[in-house]
Structure 1
Amino acid sequence: MWPLGHVAIAYLCYSLVARTRYERPPDHVPAVVVVFASLFPDLVDKPLAWYLGVLPTGRTLAHSLLVLVPLVLVVGLVADRAGYAAVGVAFAIGALSHALVDALPALWGGTDPSFLLWPALPVESYESGSPSVLALLADSLDDPYFLSEFVFAAIALVVWRRDGYPGLAPIRSRIQR
């Protein structure tokens, strides 16, 4: 999945949790955290694999539940002790939704979900260096899974508006000055 889809799905999940658990729309800081966390696995794995060659693929270390689950627990514990439990929940939803959504195509044979348990399960290394982002995009254009990201983004935009644009307040206040 591309960044747009990860952000949209994570925000929709967090908005639902905020409304059911906290009985209000998401606050500004957790909204920003869920966006960051939804991109976190790619922000770690892609550069380490594609540009530094340290990881075998762009879905290994930060996509692995063997790394993500302990990380989410530590972030949640630290956030809770600091009085920001919602931030820990936002990080957990963003990071875990990313890995799980990346594994979804395995249901129809579109990807190998072994990255979820890397390094306990092996992953196939890139055959010839790092992939081209433009080539990946071109390959995705006729994929219904890719096209669904725009539907999720549209829904997330409507929900974000309904929620009062959380995460945008600091930017809005600077613009209004």
Structure 2
Amino acid sequence: MWPWGHAAVGYLFYAAYTRLRYDRPPDGPAMVLLLVGTQLPDLIDKPLAWTLPVLPSGRSLGHSLLFLVPLVLVAAVAVRDRDSEWATALAIGALSHAVVDVLPALTRGEFAYTTSLVWPLLPPPPYNEQGRTILGHFLSLEPTPMVAFELVLALGVVVVWWRQGRPGLRTMRDGVVETWDRV
């Protein structure tokens, strides 16, 4: 799945969570952490596998529940005095990313492509990643039905986000302005 697809799925899960738990849409800093969480597995794995050959695959450490669950628990402890929603948002984002990445393989019965969830207990999925780069990955984007689905999903989620008051936008804007003022 592409970054916009992960962001869209993560937002839908988190918006449903906040609606069910608090009867309100998402808000504030939790939205920033949700966005980070939805991209975190790829931000860890792709550079460390494709740029610095430290990891065996672009779907290994950052996509593994053996890494993500402890990471989320550490985050929950780190922010426990502030707002537990921050850790929840990060968790929903990161875990939804890892699970959604394996759904197509699960539906096709290609279980070898789901091993990222328990890496390093099982080898990484058998993708051909020889010579991959992050820029090359984006340049290889082709107009497939899945890419079209992800774009439509992302656009639909933007409409939902807009109708819910654009949660997180003020937090991000204020952070940029504050950082700019320090420079």
Number of matched residues?
170
Alignment of 1:5-16 (within 5 A): 5-16=5-16
Q: Distance in 2 between matches of 1:82 and 1:147?
A: 42
Q: Which runs of 4+ in 1 moved over 4 A?
A: none
Q: Give the structure 1 partner of residue 41 of structure 2.
A: 41
Q: Give the structure 1 partner of residue 27 of structure 2.
A: 27
Q: Give how far 1:163 is off.
A: 1.5
Q: Give the structure 1 partner of residue 130 of structure 2.
A: 128
Q: Give how far 1:146 is off.
A: 2.2
Check the 8 A contact 1:10/1:97 in 2, yes or no: yes
SS at match of 2:141: helix
Q: Distance in 1 between matches of 2:129 and 2:164?
A: 45
Q: Distance in 2 between matches of 1:25 and 1:128?
A: 42
Q: Distance in 1 between matches of 2:139 and 2:164?
A: 36
- Unaligned 5+ runs, structure 1: none
| Residue identity opposite 2:95 in structure 1 | L
The one-character-per-residue Cα deviations of 1:123-155 (angstroms, maximum 9, x if unpaired) are 2374632253156413xx22x222211121122
TM-score for both structures, normalised by structure 2 = 0.85
| Residue identity opposite 1:43 in structure 2 | L
After superposing the two structures, state which structure 1 stretch, 14-23 or 128-137, moved more. 128-137
SS at match of 2:168: coil
TM-score for both structures, normalised by structure 1 = 0.87
> In the alignment, is residue 169 of structure 1 matched against residue 173 of structure 2?
no
After superposing the two structures, state which structure 1 stretch, 152-161 or 92-101, moved more. 152-161
CA RMSD of aligned residues (A): 2.0
SS at match of 1:122: coil
| Residue identity opposite 2:132 in structure 1 | S
Change (3 A) 1:134 1:14: closer
Q: Distance in 1 between matches of 2:146 and 2:127?
A: 23
| Residue identity opposite 2:137 in structure 1 | V
Q: Give the structure 2 partner of residue 53 of structure 1.
A: 53
Q: Give the structure 2 partner of residue 101 of structure 1.
A: 100
Q: Report sequence identity in percent.
A: 47
Check the 8 A contact 1:14/1:93 in 2, yes or no: yes
Change (3 A) 1:51 1:42: same
After superposing the two structures, state which structure 1 stretch, 19-28 or 118-127, moved more. 118-127
